[in-house]
Amino acid sequence: MTETPAARHLREQQAGSLTTGNLILLPDGERTAEIHQVELERDDFGAPALVLASLTGGGTLRIAVGSSVTVVEEQSDDVTHLALATSPSQDVGQSLEPGHPEEPAEAGQPAESPQEQPGEKPAPVASVPAVVVPPLPPVPPAANGPSEEELALIPAPAGTPESVVEAAAEAHPDAMGVLLLTDRLAKGVNFKSGSCLKDLSDLAHELFITLKDAESSLAVADLLTVLPYDGNPGRWASVEASLALASYICRQDGQNERAAVYEKLIRTPENQETDPFKARMAAKVRQRSLNEPNLYDKEIFRSIDNSNHDAEREWRLLRLESLLFLRAHGGSETIGMGELERRISNELEAVRA
């Protein structure tokens, strides 16, 4: 006698409630795998975001916490007894001989398997296909920061930060934009203040873009370029803009080695993530932002249509910062270096007019 196999029942279950031992249906909808271990990834706000399910056969599934997963449950139905086929040595309808009743096998002893006939091949054993989960994509290589020898290419400031700002103001006593910025900075340069860093970055851009004073601009920018990355996006935006500007000035002046140092420093945030999954996601987002930069085309065209030259200049300055940032990253998959150089020259000419 034998039994029918247990019936399988499918049910939907939220991924956040999966536990070790659950048998789930894989994404292809055909194969199943047992969960060996469950880990929970949280987002930056501390809320559960991703379930990492390690499978018994190897591999890992990444499932959003709110997604529904098909869980396979094995439940035994009522046992249905099926009659075994009679042995070839017995005739159909033949009764047992008197005095030799058929004795059932003792409990715990396996029944003897029928002997194979000469020349008969054993039936092939059905093999269960192994669960194959595609490997995770490789972790993007981390950008290497500059060495001590490379950092030495950036000269130390000549005096205090306040004296550097004062020297820039003395070189351009009639420049109203420079005077407004230096008046605020003359009270003291606080590198922990986001507004102070923004004023320094604006001063460096004003000196180079409007007044064409690359030397003074680079001296002011170097007050920011040596600052370490502290994880604050607001403060780092000013440092990042100064690094991009310093890189462009040095490239134009033929100081390629010094420019390469600035370009390594601008990639400092790319080295901070240690989790492989988050590093891959950050690399994808970063590459997408480089391929699809915001160049403020709509805002500039709207200002031109309204004959608002002041607004047009402000939008073009923002576009120029975006182009300089792309230039410091070596371009992107959509805008090459030659096109970047041409567009930067056009924007400089437009805002200086």
Task: Specify the pLDDT at position 169.
Answer: 93
Domain ranges of the chain: 7-75, 148-352
The answer, yes or no, to whether residue 56 has pLDDT greater than 50, is yes
Which residues neighbour 129 within 8 Å (Cβ) at sequence distance 6 or greater? 31
Where is average pLDDT lowest: 4-8, 184-188, 191-195, 281-285?
4-8
Segment 112-137 shows an average pLDDT of 53
| Confidence band of 99 (pLDDT split at 50, 70, 90) | very low
Q: Are 353 and 316 in contact (CB under 8 A)?
A: no
The answer, yes or no, to whether residue 235 has pLDDT greater than 60, is yes
Task: Specify the pLDDT at position 98.
Answer: 47
The answer, yes or no, to whether residue 100 has pLDDT greater than 50, is no
Q: Which two tokens stand for residue 184?
A: 């605020």
Q: Are 66 and 72 in contact (CB under 8 A)?
A: no
Q: Which two tokens stand for residue 304?
A: 């031109």
Segment 174-199 shows an average pLDDT of 92
The answer, yes or no, to whether residue 81 has pLDDT greater than 50, is no
Where is average pLDDT lowest: 70-74, 215-219, 290-294?
70-74
Q: What is the DSSP string of 143-161?
A: PPPP-HHHHTTSPPPSS-H
Q: Which two tokens stand for residue 302?
A: 């709207």
Where is average pLDDT lowest: 21-35, 106-120, 223-237, 288-302?
106-120
* Percent of the chain topping pLDDT 90: 47
Taking the whole predicted model, whether its pTM rises above 0.85 is answered as no
The answer, yes or no, to whether residue 12 has pLDDT greater than 50, is yes
| Confidence band of 204 (pLDDT split at 50, 70, 90) | very high
Spatial distance between the Cα atoms of 195 and 325, rounded to a whole number of angstroms: 20
Strands in 60-64's sheet, in edge-to-edge order, are: 7-14, 68-75, 23-25, 32-42, 48-55, 60-64
Task: Specify the pLDDT at position 131.
Answer: 52
What's domain 7-75's architecture? Roll (2.30)
Q: Please, what is the average pLDDT of the chain?
A: 81
| Confidence band of 318 (pLDDT split at 50, 70, 90) | very high
Spatial distance between the Cα atoms of 308 and 310, rounded to a whole number of angstroms: 6
Spatial distance between the Cα atoms of 170 and 166, rounded to a whole number of angstroms: 6
Where is average pLDDT lowest: 28-37, 147-156, 319-328?
28-37
Spatial distance between the Cα atoms of 286 and 293, rounded to a whole number of angstroms: 10
Q: Are 317 and 284 in contact (CB under 8 A)?
A: no
Q: Quick one: CA dihedral 162, 168, 172, 175, positive or negative?
A: negative
Q: What is the pLDDT of residues 34-43, one digit of tens each?
A: 898 888 888 7
